[in-house]
């Protein structure tokens, strides 16, 4: 009875191996072996051990072949962000960074007509001829500070053509030097002053201490010196 039991076990194992072989394309390796009469489970292991080793080797080779994918294209990975939800880390695509638009040039804080801007540049050229670019911007800033001050006319043209006593406030208007063309540097100085980036501490006066004859102007608070000019308020 014992022998009959082990024989049934052996037949069942062989049938199982044959069924597995149908699905992994190794049935031919199984069917070439014959059923062997065995007396114990040890005999079954000895009889069918070589078969199992061969099947395992073929299956391992088949798995290796499945993992090989020729001509696999490179996949560019996008930046991702990890989010933890209920103890599980989920990787989410990270949106591209927005492009930063270049900064636009500062818009003029004071708008004047082209005719008035030309008059303005000619005054700066006459008053600050021979001075640095910074000195020309400072002179233009004084004119604009006067426009903002209640003590002076409220337009660029009104400030330039203002009459004090029996003479013009600016000597180039008095002696005709303002009628000469402005340099490119004076034009640029006016454009920069119109942006009002630096109000020069609200200075409304400037003079050359080497040649100034008015004693009153020297009583004003000096704020800054640029080149040959002193700027005061």
* 36: containing domain: 2-65
- pTM for the predicted model, two decimal places: 0.56
Domain boundary among 48, 65, 82: 65
Half-sphere exposure of 28 (CA within 13 A, CB side): 2
Whether 82 maps to a domain, the answer reads no
Q: What is the mean pLDDT of residues 178-185?
A: 97
Say how far apart CA 145 and CA 199 lie, in whole Å: 7
Find residue 91's DSSP bridge partners. 82
Share of the chain above pLDDT 70, in %: 54
pLDDT (tens digit per residue) in 134-162: 999 999 999 999 999 999 999 999 999 99
CATH of the domain at 192: 1.10.10.2520
Count how many domains the chain has: 2
Do 148 and 209 share a domain, yes or no? Answer: yes
């Amino acid at each position: 009875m014992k022998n009959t039991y082990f024989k049934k076990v052996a037949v069942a194992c062989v049938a199982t191996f044959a069924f597995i072989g149908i699905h992994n394309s190794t049935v031919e390796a199984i069917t070439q072996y014959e059923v062997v009469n065995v007396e114990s489970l040890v005999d079954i292991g000895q009889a069918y051990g070589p078969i199992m080793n061969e099947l395992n080797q073929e299956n391992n080779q088949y798995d290796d072949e499945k993992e090989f994918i020729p001509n696999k294209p490179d996949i560019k990975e996008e930046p991702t962000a990890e989010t933890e939800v209920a103890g599980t880390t989920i990787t989410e695509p990270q949106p591209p960074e927005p492009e930063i638009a270049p900064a636009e040039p500062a818009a003029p804080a004071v708008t004047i007509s082209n005719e008035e801007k030309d008059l303005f540049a000619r005054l700066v050229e006459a008053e600050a001829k021979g001075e640095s670019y910074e000195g020309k911007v400072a002179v233009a800033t004084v004119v604009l500070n006067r426009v903002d001050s209640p003590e002076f006319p409220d337009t660029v043209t009104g400030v330039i053509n203002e009459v004090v006593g029996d003479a013009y406030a600016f000597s180039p208007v008095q002696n005709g030097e303002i009628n000469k063309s402005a340099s490119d540097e004076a034009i640029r100085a006016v454009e920069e002053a119109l942006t009002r980036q630096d109000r020069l501490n609200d200075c409304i006066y400037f003079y050359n201490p080497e040649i100034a004859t008015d004693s009153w102007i020297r009583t004003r608070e000096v704020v800054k010196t640029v080149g040959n000019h002193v700027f005061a308020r």
